[in-house]
Structure 1
Amino acid sequence: MRVLIVYASKYGSTGEVASAIEEVLTTRGKHVDTHDALSAPAPTGYDAVIVGSGVYVGSWLKAAASYLETHAEALRERPVWLFGVGPLGFDDPQPAGDPDQAPTLVERVAARAYVTFTGALDRSRLSLVDRMITRVVKAPDGDFRDWGAIRAFAHDVADALETGAAAPVSRPSAPVASARHAAVDAGGRS
C-alpha cells in the first residue's frame, strides 16, 4: 500500500512530525513517500494521503492549504487524514484549538479525521517578527510535542488502512477544545 505524506513547515517541527508518522507507517509495511507541500506530487498513484501543516494565527500555512485545494478532486477519491501542529496556547503549551478552517479543510477533501498536535517553540530559530509575536502572546518556549500521541495517530491510520475502517482515528492526548489561537504555531517550529 502506497501512502503519501505532505506537510508544510515553517521552522521544522511539522516536518519532524511527518517523519515520525512515516516511520510508524513504514514499520507497519506501508510504502511511504513524504514531501514538503511545495514540491509534493499529485496524490494519484497513492492509496492514501496524510496532509499536515503548521498552524499560525489560527490558520494552516498557504502551501498545505493550496495543496488541498489544487488536488481536492483526487484527494476525495482516496482515504485522507489531516493534522495540524500548534498553535501553542497562551502561557500554556497545549494547542489553542483546531484552526477555524479545519471543518472546511475536512469537507474539501472528505478527510476521515483532523487532529491537532502540540508543537515546539525555539525562539532562537524564529524570525524577528515571530519572536516579537511569541513574546506578546506569551507562548511558552520548549518542545511540547507528544510523540506518543503522534505515533498513536499513525498506528490508527495504519489500522484503518489495513481493515478498511472508515471510523475517525484517535485524537491527541492533549486537550484541544479552546477557541484561543496563538500567533505562532507549535512554537515557531512548525
Structure 2
Amino acid sequence: MDHRKRKFLKYGAYSAAAAALAGVGWQFRPTLPNDAPADIALADGQGDRLLIVYGSMLGSTGGQAAWMAEVARTAGFRVALFSAENAPAPDGFDRVMVGSAIRAAAWLEPVVNWTAAHAEAIATRPHSLFQCSMTCAGMLLGNQGGPLTTDQSAQLQRDTDSLFAAAPVLAQTDVAFFPGRLDFDRLTPVLRVGYPFVAGSVMQGDFRDREAAESWARSSLSKDTG
C-alpha cells in the first residue's frame, strides 16, 4: 500500500470517527420543549427594571422563570427575561433574579459564567437566586407535602458551590429551591436510557409548584436587598 493510500485511509477513519462522535453527541442533547420561553426584552414604561436570567435544560426552569416574570409585571415592574446564553449585562436594571436547573449537582455552566462576569454589578442592586431540580422534587415528595428539612436544604445548597466559587461576592445570598419537571418522552433515545445512571433516579413527572414559585417571587420583589 503506497503512502498516499495509507494517508487517505488514515484521515478517512478519523473523519468517520468524528462523524460518529458528533452523532452520539447529538443524541445526548435534550429535545427542545414546547414551553421554553422566548427571550423578552425590557418593556417600555415607568416601573423599576427587572432582569430575570435563567438556565434551563428541558424548559422546566425557564417555565418557572416565566411565571416569576408574570408576577413582576403584575406588580408594576418592567421585566426582561433572558436565557443566560443571551442575557445582557445587568447595568441598566434596578433588580436582578438569577435561576438555574441542576445538572450533576451543579448550576448550569452558562448561568455560572454570566453570573461570575457580572457579580459585582449584581451585588450592588437587589437580587435573588433560585434553582430547580428533580432532587428537590424527590425530597418534597418524600416529605408528603411538608417543607424541606434543614438537612435537605443544606444538601441542595451544595449545588451552588461552583456558582459561589465563581462569584464569591454573592455567597451570602439566600437561594430558593424549587422542584422541577422531567418527561422521558422529551429526551433523545440515548439520553433517555442514560439519564437514570447519571442522575441515580428513574423518577419523572411534573412536580413544579406554581403557587410556591409565584409566592417567592412576590416576596423577593418586596425586599430592598439581595
TM-score, normalization by structure 2: 0.65
2:213 maps to a residue whose letter is: I
2:193 maps to a residue whose letter is: M
Q: Does 2:159 correspond to 1:98?
A: no
Farther-moved stretch of structure 1 (117-126 vs 86-95): 86-95
Q: How far 1:155 moved relative to its partner?
A: 0.7
Other-structure match for 1:122: 183
- With over 3 angstroms needed to count, the CA separation of the structure-2 counterparts of 1:33 and 1:90, relative to structure 1, is closer
* 1:141-160 alignment, distance < 5 Å: 141-160=204-223
Other-structure match for 1:18: 65
- With over 3 angstroms needed to count, the CA separation of the structure-2 counterparts of 1:129 and 1:50, relative to structure 1, is farther
Farther-moved stretch of structure 1 (84-93 vs 59-68): 84-93
Identity %: 33
Other-structure match for 2:133: 86
Other-structure match for 1:47: 94
Deviations 1:63-94 (A, max 9, x none): 10001111112111111111111043696665
Give ranges in structure 1 of 5+ residues lacking alignment: 169-190
In 1, Cα distance between equivalents of 2:216 and 2:86:
24
- With over 3 angstroms needed to count, the CA separation of the structure-2 counterparts of 1:59 and 1:39, relative to structure 1, is same
Q: CA RMSD of the aligned region, Å?
A: 2.4
- State which structure, 1 or 2, has the greater radius of gyration over its C-alpha atoms: 2
Other-structure match for 2:113: 66
- With over 3 angstroms needed to count, the CA separation of the structure-2 counterparts of 1:29 and 1:156, relative to structure 1, is same
Residue 60 of structure 1 aligns to a residue whose secondary structure is coil
TM-score, normalization by structure 1: 0.76
Aligned pair count reads 163
Other-structure match for 1:108: 169
In 2, Cα distance between equivalents of 1:101 and 1:138:
17
Q: Which structure: greater strand fraction?
A: 1
